[in-house]
A and B are shown apart, each in its own frame.
Chain A
Amino acid sequence: MSAVLTWAVLCAQVLLGLAMACSTLRILWGPRAQDRVVGFDSLYVNAMLLVLTFGIRSGSALYFEAALMIALLGFVGTVALAKFLLRGEVIE
């Protein structure tokens, strides 16, 4: 792994960590419940991208499956939360 790529992966991880911090702040501040749900949506996408950069860093293809699981379960969780806000119950 060349020095350029090591530096770039570190830089991208710092930027994605900052993005996760911004989303967490929106979850904490969010004046309404829907703001918190949007913050959660952004948080899991950022976490998925961070896992992908960890995969590039370690050179292992296993991280891809973890990222796919995060994307799937995060989508299901966000839609369930949105349905709960809409109706007051998840399964109708």
Chain B
Amino acid sequence: MNEGVELPLVAAILTAMLLIVGAATTLIGSLGLMRLGTFYQRVHAPTLGTTLGTSCIALASMIYFSTLGTRPVLHELLLVVFVTITTPITLMVLVRAAVFREKLEDQAASTSQTEKRERR
């Protein structure tokens, strides 16, 4: 904690609200990841944290450091842009992998069933 510089009250309250909203949104997303039923439902939940949570907390950090340094600090935008771009790519590759694996298993199950039928 740096006690030397005192933040204006408006900036402090804005930062606090953005921090709590972002953290709560991330928690809701992770709760959804824990509680939802199937894999394809679970993929949706953590994107709440990666879009809303990341942008809220990065905005809080930007406001805090801009008022602390009395100059605009914008490098947290890099984080927001990067996470927002990479999350859909990750999930798309992952869902494709899941579909591929399920198809393989279905094929394996159907071939084993036909083998059983032929044995009879």
Contacts and interface: CB of A to CB of B under 8 A. Distances in A.
B26 A49 contact: yes
B89 A71 contact: no
A16 B86 CA distance: 21
A90 interface: no
Main secondary structure of the interface of B (DSSP, over half): helix
Contacts of B94: 34, 37-38, 41, 78, 82, 85
Contact of A42 (B23, B30, B58): B30
A2 B9 contact: yes
Contacts of B76: 52, 64
A26 B61 contact: no
A61 B68 CA distance: 11
Interface in A61-88: 61, 64, 67-68, 71-72, 75, 78-79, 82-83, 85-86
A35 B29 contact: no
Nearest to A34: B98
Given A53-B19, A57-B1, A4 B30 contact: no
Contacts of B50: 45
B22 A49 contact: yes
A12 B42 CA distance: 23
Interface residues of B, number: 59
A66 B91 CA distance: 23
A38 to B, nearest CB: 6
A8 B9 CA distance: 13
Given A2-B6, A9-B19, A34 B57 contact: no
B49 A45 contact: yes
A75 B40 CA distance: 20
Contact of B7 (A1, A15, A38, A83): A1
Interface in B1-28: 1-3, 5-7, 9, 12-13, 15-17, 19-20, 22-24, 26-27
5 contacts: A12-B57, A41-B46, A57-B1, A68-B78, A71-B83
